[in-house]
Amino acid sequence: MVNGNGKPLKSRMSGFHKLSPDEKLEAVKEFSNLTDEDVELLKKTGALDIGAADRMIENVIGTTEMPLGIATNFLINGRDYLIPMVIEEPSVVAAASYAAKLARTRGGFTASSDDPLMIGQIQLVGVADIEESKKRIMRNKERIFDMANKCDSVLVKFGGGVRDIEIREMETKRGKMLVVHLVVDVRDAMGANAVNTMAERVAPFLEELTGGKVRLRIITNLADRRLARVQAVWDKDVIGEDTVEKILDAYELAANDQYRCTTHNKGIMNGIDAVVIATANDFRAIEAGAHSYAARNGKYEPLTRYAKDSEGNLVGTIELPLALGLVGGATRTHPIAKIAVKIIGAKSTKELAEVVASVGLAQNFAALRALATEGIQTGHMRLHSRNIAVLAGASGDLIDEVAKRMNGEKNISTGRAKEILEELQK
């Protein structure tokens, strides 16, 4: 590969990690033929300055920005919330706010959640006497608890720590394995650091007890002891009896078809991820946990359920694992994430999980309502029309003017935007 000046370039950049962000940027500029303008844009960091970003991850050359919107109208367990959402997709914030508004007639969202229990897995292979090993582990339960709890005195001080040990046995292609689960109350942390440290700490003792060899020592992202549950009732007189029936039909497709179910759950994650990202939580952990939980019965299922109550109103529920943190990690170091947490006002990860799950349910209701009635493209394209106007070359006041005309004509496309722009510029 050569750059614009014909110089051969290799991505094997020895010592790259030792360069300053500016020097790294210079190297990338050369490799990828970036312009001076590109470099200037990359240097423009926002509230997360380059130093903080550089301490967060490796090989940093800049930061990136996404829109931060506020979902309104949320009434959860009798409390009003404004909810920050970070997402690049139009319609999501508006849809969540709309669903929350419609839910208010019947009291908004009723939410609950489990204690913040996470599981650390320790894999043991080559255990000669499985039954005897299990007994030994259980006889030494208290010692294992002590050993693990000593890793995190702060967690223990705040009421967290190991709660249980479970032993699983599995037959695999590589022989029988024992998997020990450490069930840990991680309080207001996401928990990965605490649990992984504990799992590593007790592993040698488990080898001693079983005569086996430890392989993996890691948290599971299937946080199925840390579920959040939410219910909301949408009044039939507010949304229309016909809409109740249409939503139930739409839901039934997701319940019976994996192709639809994937999209159904994607819509839920639109809302969930947006709040998770706003608070700088680990959205990959949340995604992995959610989809794994959706498949827990051996079939990929919707994370929400819908039914009619005795009066014919639509009752929606959601249940999913939500391993969120308020202490540690980027939630505490990213300046905007700190403000996002402040806007929500969540005092615990349980409360945060209840808020996040409510947004997931609201998002899903809004998508089903739109899909089952007028379709989502009308509203979506209306919101998207400004982006299309920009893509067609509009700037300043012309953006709104082009968007307005396209919306009026119900013809929203880059082609039409260009034509309107030309007319306006004449």
**Which residue's CB is nearer to ligand MEV, number 278 or number 421?**
278
**Which residue's CB is nearer to ligand MEV, number 89 or number 132?**
89
Q: Is 298 exposed, middle or buried (0-12, 13-18, 19+ CB in 10 A)?
A: exposed
**Which residue's CB is nearer to ligand MEV, number 60 or number 87?**
87
Least Å from the CB of residue 319 to ligand MEV: 17
Does 270 participate in binding ligand MEV (rule CB under 6 A)? yes
Does 263 participate in binding ligand MEV (rule CB under 6 A)? yes
Does 248 participate in binding ligand MEV (rule CB under 6 A)? no
Question: Which are the contacts of 239, defined by CB distance < 8 A and separation ≥ 6?
Answer: 102, 314, 369
| Cα 100 from Cα 243, distance rounded (Å) | 16
Give counts: helices (H), strands (E), the chain.
18, 10
| Cα 183 from Cα 161, distance rounded (Å) | 9
Q: Which residue is nearest to ligand MEV (CB)?
A: 267
| Binder of ligand MEV out of 266, 299, 342, 347 (CB under 6 A) | 266
| Binder of ligand MEV out of 84, 161, 212, 267 (CB under 6 A) | 267
Judged by CB under 6 A, the stretch of 21-29, 262-270, 286-294, 329-337 that binds ligand MEV is 262-270
| Cα 178 from Cα 176, distance rounded (Å) | 7
Token duo for residue 157: 């001080």
Least Å from the CB of residue 67 to ligand MEV: 15
**Helix (H) or strand (E) segment spanning residue 65:** none
Site residues (CB under 6 A) for ligand MEV, limited to 57-96: 89
Does 371 participate in binding ligand MEV (rule CB under 6 A)? yes
| Residues involved in catalysis | 89, 266, 282, 380
Does 367 participate in binding ligand MEV (rule CB under 6 A)? yes
Least Å from the CB of residue 73 to ligand MEV: 19
Total number of residues that touch ligand MEV (CB under 6 A)? 9
| Contact (CB, 8 A) for 70 and 343 | yes
Least Å from the CB of residue 363 to ligand MEV: 8
Judged by CB under 6 A, the stretch of 157-165, 195-203, 260-268, 304-312 that binds ligand MEV is 260-268
- Side-by-side strand order, sheet with 304-308: 79-86, 68-76, 109-113, 227-234, 314-321, 304-308
Least Å from the CB of residue 294 to ligand MEV: 14
| Cα 338 from Cα 279, distance rounded (Å) | 7
The answer to whether the Cα torsion of 191, 192, 193, 198 is positive or negative is: positive
DSSP character string of 367-388: HHHHHHTT-SHHHHHHHHHHHH
Judged by CB under 6 A, the stretch of 101-109, 124-132, 143-151, 266-274 that binds ligand MEV is 266-274
| Cα 426 from Cα 32, distance rounded (Å) | 39
Judged by CB under 6 A, the stretch of 7-15, 235-243, 261-269, 307-315 that binds ligand MEV is 261-269
Site residues (CB under 6 A) for ligand MEV, limited to 372-391: 376
Token duo for residue 196: 């992984």
Does 360 participate in binding ligand MEV (rule CB under 6 A)? no
Judged by CB under 6 A, the stretch of 41-49, 202-210, 225-233, 264-272 that binds ligand MEV is 264-272
Does 274 participate in binding ligand MEV (rule CB under 6 A)? no
| Binder of ligand MEV out of 217, 264, 369, 386 (CB under 6 A) | 264
DSSP character string of 178-216: EEEEEEEE-TTS--HHHHHHHHHHHHHHHHHHHS-EEEE
- Binding residues (CB under 6 A) for ligand MEV: these are 89, 263-264, 266-267, 270, 367, 371, 376
